[in-house]
Structure 1
């Protein structure tokens, strides 16, 4: 089964939300819709989207407050769509951490281009040259294919679950660096997940059974006891 990138649309105008959702679905994305800011924040935490399209003029709260809240714990790419066309509004949103700003009305091609660009930002922001060039990360016999959402070992699909893939993908983006348990949990499950490492440990045990020749002596993902996990540095680093 092909895993599609999930995009959360936080937009209260039904016609615009339907327009965006239809375009994205027709181009291979999975879409979810929230009509209020509070609903949107809740869905970010519970559904782990790959990108958020955010309207600033929501009925219950300003979109800038949502953006500020997200940037307090996540680097999730955010494309702002708004009727606010003043330069100061665009600058404020971008300074707050938006990846892009799209002024209403906008066309199909422009929307898709901004989404693709924002997705690339997250893959290249860590300075990983291989990710920037090819959308893959490799070390030894292991390859993380970010475009196909697959992890291959010796050319064979390891058949990771969605949660397992997201863990490996995050570690691959920051290869060579230790990511703390709390950081990984916040990035993948949101701030409401708390600091219980059990779900992460269970997933990691399953991952190692699928990708390591000897899970007790890992080659790819190392444990920094009491701290977190580190992906081995890639062949191209």
Structure 2
């Protein structure tokens, strides 16, 4: 079965290049050239992944992503030259799964898309098969069956990546993880040495779960090494 991708990119040369590459790889690619068109196309089709530019006419990529996240947890890969928007795209209320900066290599883009679809397929199958399970750490309760987090009984909304990062730490409370290991295990992909994506997700996660994000208790930093779960 062919995987289906929604490609949202207003630059026709980039759109044509990416579409051609992924058709060769055996994917079905549906292009959209502005945010409004992308919403309309998304509402009429079922996709396995969205490749999204942020600088779009009519409805920009950030607003498109926010609307999509209210309806679906489909994997979204950001393609953008706007580094300043990365924090927002990966952060609270938006929930992109990955990003690649322009200009990018088609080899890396293809690898990231394949990894994102593979992760989504794996998690979907695993979560359907597993029995309900709850993990706890301090005042945090992580429900693996319902993909929900509560702190002292109050629900905290997490993005998919934030959820799986926290699950990684709570599942292995004594283990220290480097940034490369976190990326490999959560993104299920080769680490390209760009620490920014890990830094953004970790900061946003701490802002949600910590009483004082500047002095975290749940996810501790071991300087020069990585991160580990705090002791409870």
Give the TM-score band, short-chain normalised.
0.5 to 0.7
Q: Look up the match of 2:39.
A: 41
Structure 1 residue ranges (4+ consecutive) displaced by more than 4 angstroms after TM superposition: 176-179
Deviation at 1:120, TM superposition (A): 2.3
Q: Aligned equivalents of 2:40 and 2:117: distance in 1?
A: 22
Q: Look up the match of 1:55.
A: 53
Give 1:111's match in structure 2, choosing from 109, 112, 128. 109
The 5 Å alignment of 1:184-199 reads none
Deviation at 1:45, TM superposition (A): 1.4
1:30-75 CA distance string (max 9 Å, x none): 1111111011011111111111101100011220111111111101
1:199-220 CA distance string (max 9 Å, x none): xxxxxxxxxxxxxxxxxxxxxx
Q: TM-score, normalised on structure 1? A: 0.52
1:91 aligns with 2:45: no
Give 1:32's match in structure 2, choosing from 26, 30, 33. 30
Deviation at 1:126, TM superposition (A): 5.0
1:16 aligns with 2:31: no
Deviation at 1:91, TM superposition (A): 2.2
Q: Report the RMSD for the aligned CA atoms in angstroms.
A: 2.0
1:78-119 CA distance string (max 9 Å, x none): 111011124xx2221112211111111101111101101211
1:147-176 CA distance string (max 9 Å, x none): xxxxxxxxxxxxxxxxxxxxxxxxxx5246
Q: Look up the match of 2:221.
A: none
Unaligned runs of 5+ in 1: 129-172, 180-237
Name the SS for the 2:83 alignment partner. coil
Name the SS for the 2:73 alignment partner. coil
Q: Aligned equivalents of 1:126 and 1:6: distance in 2?
A: 17
Distance change (3 Å), C-alpha of 1:39 and 1:99: same
Give 2:118's match in structure 1, choosing from 117, 120, 123. 120
Give 1:174's match in structure 2, choosing from 108, 124, 128. 128
Q: Aligned equivalents of 1:69 and 1:39: distance in 2?
A: 13
- Higher relative CO (Cα under 8 Å, sequence separation at least 6) belongs to 1
Distance change (3 Å), C-alpha of 1:23 and 1:112: same
